[in-house]
Structure 1
Amino acid sequence: MPVKRLRKARGGRSLIGLSLAALSGMFVAAGIVAGGCGARTPLDVGPPQPPCFVDSDCPGHKNLCEPVYCDLAAGAEAGAPRNGGLCVDLPPIVCDDNDPCTDDACVPKTGQCTYEVATRDNDGDGFRGPRPGTLPGDPNACGDDCDDKSELAYPGGTEVCDGVDNDCNGVVDDGATYIPLLNEPIRLSGDIAPAGPGGLAWSGTSYAAAYTGTVSGFSMRLNMLAPTGVPLGPEAPIVFQNGDNAGGPIVWVGDRYGIAWQDRRSGDYEVYFTLLDESGAKVLPDTRLSFAEGFSINVSLGWTGGEFIVAWQDEREGLFDLYAQRLSIDGAPIGGNVKLTQAFNVGNEAPQMAPGLSSIGVAWAPGDALQHFIQFQVFNQDLTPRSPAVSLTQGTSDSVYPTIAWNQDRYVVAWFDKTANPKAIYGAVVDEDGNILVEPKALTNPGSFRSRYPSIKALGDRVLLVYADDRDQNDGYELYALMLDGNLNPSGTEQRVTFGKKDSIYPIATFGPDGNVGILFRDDREGQQHVFFTRLGCIVP
């Protein structure tokens, strides 16, 4: 439209400076005349649309999955300027190949449809794992691998003693028992005492052992171990930043490790996560997960089959509460921190969690300096609550150190009690909806002595319990192993695992090669607190 100059009125004023009153009178007079003639109400055509000349003038034109175009003819009909049109929405692109086992999506940049297989073969055995929340082999599971972390487990496999469910019948190493293999455990930690275990995982070729030592403060170390437990090289730091760092729960997911820890590089303890390759090399920068004031500590880590889940206790609101964070297989946070609990009077502490079929079970120990009790709750894998919290103890004693495992179709929770009679390891079984299937009961019989620090490994139809006990009065605690049936009753002979003087405590057990069970633990036999490794051997009937 050409630009017109303003004409000057006499006296040097522009026409725009005419009396507002005069102009108002003109409008009023026009209204009276129109009203007197019975004029029709003006049409409400809405605000004029901005004219367009090409498609790229239209809002949202870059999203080709919701296409728009500039209709020049429509612009003229709708009263737009002669040299402009109107933006018109076209039907959106709908991508659907009628295959329930693909994730269908439209790429906004190109407007093209993609159809990606919805499940993964993380372990490379040719069998895909099921969709989250489905059982392997179900019609809508789109995968039938019962353990996509191990290439040794797949439908039709031959069951051998190797710590995995080779034939996918729901039972690991059918009928096997476990006996100690090493007369003397292997010390892993160097001159970094006091040291303590953090996490242990088996990749199929080697163990990754994470632990914390003392080097001008707390510092995590990683040691890669041969199948026999012999270190493949010197221990190495995991974190290369100043500030205390500790923890180290670690999981193997078929082609990489995930590891999480608490870290004080920014002042308060915060939660961090990273990925390691099979050799233990870091492949992702440290990813900070918590940012609130106060300490974020006592980290737990799990793998759902498609995502990592990190849980911890956090004092951002005063009393400790539990928080969690989802991460993709590539270590990218999904959404923000999710608050899992609400503290009342006492803090919620010591979270341990395990992913189930379509859920996540979380056990923790609310309490104060004198008493704790064990609570358990089931969450969906998006971290929304699935069941109410249930109390597994009455709060009249000091129940602490919960641990948890998913066992085929239910959760097994174990803990120890410092003041009950007996001072034993206790356990219970809970289903995915929070219903107690096996009521809490003592799992060990220490007599007048004490059982502490349980670690449990699920075998489908039974559970392996590894724990510390001072009944032999060997100048401290020793490690023991006990098989339990599905109802948590002892099954088989209890095995003593360590025999050195002083304490052997804090065991962390994981399945290794040939059905062996690797155990990482703290041992004081050398007069200092160091981290050691030992093994249990698998014996088939």
Structure 2
Amino acid sequence: MAEWEPDLRLTFDDSSSWVCENNGRCIVSHNNYVHIVWSDFRSQGAEIYCKRSTDYGQSWEADRRLTFDSVAGPSSGMAAIAISGAYLHLVWRDTRDGNREIYYKRSSDNGLTWSNDVRLTNDPGISGLPSITAEDSMVYLVWQDDREGNFEIFFKYSTNWGEDWSDDIRLTNDPGVSAYPTIAVQDSLLHLAWHDNRDGNAEIYYKRSTNWGISWSPDTRLTEDPDLSGLPTIALSGSYVHLCWMDRRDGNGEIYYKWSSDHGLTWSVDRRLTNAPYKSSYPSLVAEGKNLHLAWYDFRDGNAEIYYKNSTDQGVNWSSDLRLTNSSGTSQWPSIALADTMLNLVWMDDRDGNWEIYYKRNPNGNVYLNQERSPKITPLLLRIDNRIEIDGLPSGSRLYLFDPLGRRLNTLQVKNQRAVVPLPYSAGLYLLVIETPISVTNQWIVVIK
């Protein structure tokens, strides 16, 4: 694996520049584009800024201010971004209306132009810590909101690239605090994690939707320990759901991990990933194929520094911790993104006397994907008396067929690099997961009569 390149300072002003916390993402990448968003105090109050690279992070365009609402007090912060092709979807918390509300704007041309600001919430409570994800024309948003008297997780969605939005939908209902929601989507399956103190201390909870957010599973408690579990980050790869969080069960904050191989139906045991004498916190996780990439900030060196580790086998084994920053200041709140072989990392850093945005990249940090041999799928004849034939599968591959509720129907072995998948007898939407030794591929199947 190629090495990480040197730190690159992206902002140069005499005021603070802040990235969002780890439940949202402040960096996204697609093909040759890399986009970063943050809140910046160079104006009278905090405003949302963006910056983009069109050459894989080698060079960067000038800072661009996206909000213009501050007048001695109001502020825009907690900016989070999602990408779907050329569309960028940006959300943030804004106080221009006298209380904290969620606002949105979008770009349909890779960040060249942006829409007007759109207010998405309108209630007397505090709306904050948004997390957004997108897939094709679907855009999904979660945030924490105390309109009911305590913080609960709320959700809304758009089916047309952010042009129109659903009503607010309350996803949690308990007497404790539900906070720090993080959401991810793949193949129309939505996965949500947050931390919740309904049990007397903060624990990690999870729920999912298999129908684009129309209905949701019950809340599932994923951690059970006497101390705080919080700040979750979630990443998806095929049928795998990967989750990291900060946990204090060991006396100081450490990064923990668990995974599900069946779209969130069942989960592994908790696994401790860091073991340092001081706090490790604010993890950011991404996944593609069997590759996982994790960044966090860590106090083991006497001050906060950015660390990294990775797995190339769906989280079974992990590399040693790798220190990525080395400065006398504080480096914190990393956010990581990948596109093809490229890893992109952004964080906030006060080595220059005030908070600035820093970036670094690893051009071949995700290089294992180049080893993938994509299976050849013959034409899908969508009739219940037909079958799917798949050729070119490497030895050791497995195929799993799931129904619309996520229930596994079949597990198929590969013989002579070939598999035959009988279609279900009932009409409907089915998911075929093709798992090879080095990759996971999803194929939606529509069965009609």
Aligned to 1:166: none
Query: Aligned partners of 1:388, 1:271: CA distance in 2, in Å?
Result: 25
> How many residues align structurally?
315
| Residue in structure 1 matching 2:146, options 251, 264, 272 | 264
| Residue in structure 2 matching 1:454, options 334, 339, 343 | 334
Query: Deviating runs (4+, > 6 A) in structure 1?
Result: none
The answer to whether the aligner puts 1:388 opposite 2:265 as a matched pair is no
Q: In the alignment, residue 390 of structure 1 is paired with which amino acid?
A: R
Q: What is the CA-CA distance between 1:487 and the residue it aligns to?
A: 8.1
Greater helix fraction, Structure 1 or Structure 2: 1
| Residue in structure 2 matching 1:190, options 51, 56, 69 | 69
Cα 1:232–1:477 change in 2 (3 A) is: closer
Q: What is the CA-CA distance between 1:433 and the residue it aligns to?
A: 5.0
Query: 1:222-371 residue pairs with structure 2 within 5 A?
Result: 222-225=104-107, 227=109, 229=111, 232-344=114-226, 346-367=227-248, 371=252
Cα 1:422–1:483 change in 2 (3 A) is: farther
Query: Aligned partners of 1:441, 1:421: CA distance in 2, in Å?
Result: 16
Q: What is the CA-CA distance between 1:359 and the residue it aligns to?
A: 1.0
Q: What is the CA-CA distance between 1:442 and the residue it aligns to?
A: 0.8
Percentage of identical aligned residues = 20
Aligned to 2:60: 181
Q: What secondary structure, in the 3-state scheme, does the structure 1 residue paired with 2:148 have?
A: coil
Aligned to 2:355: 476
Q: What secondary structure, in the 3-state scheme, does the structure 1 residue paired with 2:147 have?
A: coil
Q: What secondary structure, in the 3-state scheme, does the structure 1 residue paired with 2:57 have?
A: strand
Query: Aligned partners of 2:203, 2:62: CA distance in 1, in Å?
Result: 43
Query: Aligned partners of 2:108, 2:285: CA distance in 1, in Å?
Result: 27
Moved more, 402-411 or 419-428: 419-428
Cα 1:395–1:385 change in 2 (3 A) is: farther
Aligned to 2:287: 406
Whether the 8 Å CA contact 2:180–2:231 is kept in 1: the answer is yes
Query: 1:486-497 residue pairs with structure 2 within 5 A?
Result: 486=365
Q: What is the CA-CA distance between 1:360 and the residue it aligns to?
A: 0.8
Aligned to 1:420: 301
Query: Aligned partners of 2:365, 2:174: CA distance in 1, in Å?
Result: 41
Query: Aligned partners of 2:221, 2:173: CA distance in 1, in Å?
Result: 13
Whether the 8 Å CA contact 2:138–2:161 is kept in 1: the answer is no
Q: What is the CA-CA distance between 1:443 and the residue it aligns to?
A: 2.0
Query: Aligned partners of 1:287, 1:436: CA distance in 2, in Å?
Result: 38
Whether the 8 Å CA contact 1:438–1:487 is kept in 2: the answer is no
Query: Aligned partners of 1:266, 1:432: CA distance in 2, in Å?
Result: 43
Whether the 8 Å CA contact 2:205–2:223 is kept in 1: the answer is yes
Cα 1:478–1:251 change in 2 (3 A) is: closer
Q: What is the CA-CA distance between 1:386 and the residue it aligns to?
A: 4.1
State the structure with more CA Rg: 1
Aligned to 2:253: 372
Query: Aligned partners of 1:218, 1:202: CA distance in 2, in Å?
Result: 25
Cα 1:261–1:475 change in 2 (3 A) is: closer
Query: Aligned partners of 2:210, 2:163: CA distance in 1, in Å?
Result: 19
Query: 1:101-116 residue pairs with structure 2 within 5 A?
Result: none
| Residue in structure 2 matching 1:464, options 329, 344, 358 | 344
Whether the 8 Å CA contact 2:88–2:107 is kept in 1: the answer is yes
Whether the 8 Å CA contact 1:186–1:229 is kept in 2: the answer is no
Q: What secondary structure, in the 3-state scheme, does the structure 1 residue paired with 2:217 have?
A: strand
Aligned to 2:447: none
Whether the 8 Å CA contact 2:99–2:124 is kept in 1: the answer is no
Unaligned runs of 5+ in 2: 1-29, 35-54, 368-449
Greater strand fraction, Structure 1 or Structure 2: 2
Cα 1:466–1:308 change in 2 (3 A) is: same
